[in-house]
Amino acid sequence: MNEAKTGTKPRRKTAAKPKIEAAAVADRTIGAGPTPSTTRDSLAFLSGEQRKALESLSLNLARAALTAQGVIAEAAFRQSETPASLTSDPLHVGPAMGEVMSRLASQPDRLMQAQTDLFARYMELWRSAAQTASGQAPAPVASPQKGDKRFNDPEWSSNPLFDIVKQSYLITSGWLNDLVSNVEGVEPLTKRRVEFATKMLTDAFSPSNFLLSNPAALREAMETKGESLANGMKNFAADLERGGGKLSISQTDFSQFKVGENVATAPGKVVFQNDLIQLLQFAPSTKSVCDIPLLIFPPWINKFYIMDLREDNSMIRWLVGQGLTVFVTSWVNPDATLAAKTIDDYLNEGIYAAIDAVQRQTGVKTVNTVGYCIGGTMLSCALAHMAARKDKRVASATFFAAQTDFSEAGDLLMFTNEEWLKDLETQMDAGGGVLPGKTMADTFNVLRSNDLIWSFFVSNYLMGKEPKPFDLLFWNSDQTRMPKTLHLYYLRKFYIENALALGKLDMAGEHLDLRAVKTPIYMQSSREDHIAPAKSVYKGARLFGGPVTYTLAGSGHIAGVINAPSAKKYQHWTNEDLPPTLDEWLAGAVEHPGSWWPNWAAWLKAKSGKDIPARDPAKGPLEPLEDAPGSFVKVKS
């Protein structure tokens, strides 16, 4: 934001910006203070072992405090040079919250009943606590939901004090969330926004997130004589430094991974490149392959190597092993020079350019395609565009967790409105026309805050532990930027207007009608997907005019898709019919153990033609530009 816009006076020159070196400051400061012998004189009543433990605890607490002081000073300095946030309500939930509170105020009988129920629950908890104190073992009044890992430490149940703290929190948070959920006379989407905001608030105030009310963190502090707290402050300072003055919580040990060395290692070549994509062709592992190649379009919001993390869970390696010639588009990580790229550009320079290149490289007339998440939404648009032009180069299309009907889209739908888009546009203008990758990463993390924020907050800072190496979380943090024109169009036309499903979308000179798409479709969704819910994906599957095979997998948006058969995890459901609703589909579905990949492979190979000698990507008509995984995927945001 420049001076003309803010009206502020030019800042006077100040001293050089302080660096976060609080740990070193702490060591120097502590070293300059009273000597251990001085301290011992005032602690003569303690044993030698006790004095040493107390001194270690005092030194570590001092180091933690001074590190925190340095962190706060650095953050304050950086924030003073950064424009203030556009709004204290970035998700624009305030108006929705006001509407829900007004409805509650207009229903005093319901509010009174809720307060009575809350008091009754607390009376029950107090009676239970009294029984526990007298040596009895009453059943808990409130218990964590299945899968809630915040209260896994045994002391949350075995220690009466922490047990009461836990149950009090569960009663209060459950009461507040239920109060909002049960309000009547509020538009459903408005209620969902308030429910989400209330859940975020109650999750943030969980006693597990505070040192003095977390038994595991307290125990760790005592057992390590305070070293865990000192280490936690060091981790906090490092994450603040990495985030440029804003906290960027480490979810994994980033130093343990390098793209092309221990992730994204499937051998192959980059055989085509333009402004938006690199096209990768992977080396065969079988002597013969199917004639019709497979072309995969991953989401441009993520790096493609989610499909090639390790050798044992790599979808790309597995597909190659099935005798398929596999191509993958690696989308560019756009900078300001690509800010004006439109969805028409992504259609022509992405989808169509990749299909053209695959045809030139293999000499085929048709290709099989895959679209993952937002890449699948783009592929569905391409299929409708091709149908309008009588273009039949796509023999089949598979969709992983991809939406075409956004009327029941995931959690992101709750906050996708014009007010939020205006904020995003302002951010992108300030960033030269692109949305920083961290912004999208933070958004997705907030949607699952207990798993992706608070669990790491507790482990990294309260417990002082170093994040463990985890390839999926490394990939999750390796986000890409979003070009302004494309991103705003996508959010507005798909999430807000649902234009594709309603038959109100034009693209690259054609009107898009999914009913005109006769291409065979394989549609995969995941039972616990919060980004592309199974119900939403199912509604989209019924929009196509040709044969559609729908499969439901266990788990969520990532693990439901990337589930190698060798892992023997989760399950999947199949049903040859496609009745009006997902519930009806499930009623007639058959459950199968393990991965859905073999089911899909059988469907795909039946549409992949005869066997031919394996194709060497280095010997095709297109001259290789570099080795896989290419350079686009290595560009950091």
Q: Which residues are the active-site residues?
A: 373
> Tokens for 606?
């039946």
Measured CA to CA, the distance from residue 616 to residue 630 in angstroms comes to: 17
> What b/e sequence results for 466-500 when a residue is b if at least 16 CB atoms lie within 10 Å of its CB, and e otherwise?
ebeeebbbbbbbbbbbbbbbbbbebbebbbeebbb
**Count of alpha carbons within 13 angstroms of residue 258, beta-carbon side:** 2
Q: How many CB atoms neighbour CB 125 within 10 A? A: 20
Q: How many CB atoms neighbour CB 49 within 10 A? A: 8
Measured CA to CA, the distance from residue 392 to residue 414 in angstroms comes to: 37
First to last CA, the chain: 21
Where would I find the beta strands (DSSP E) of 299-392? Answer: 326-331, 367-372
Q: Which of 385, 412, 381 is closest to 297 using CA atoms?
A: 381
Rounded to 5°, angle at Cα 150 from 144 and 153: 95
Kindly give, in sequence order, each residue whose CB lies less than 8 Å from that of residue 112, ignoring residues fewer than 6 positions away.
none
Residues in the chain: 637
Contact of 275 with 328, CB cutoff 8 Å: no
Sign of CA dihedral 497, 336, 343, 445: negative
Kind and range of the H or E run holding 510:
strand 510-511
Contact of 622 with 271, CB cutoff 8 Å: yes
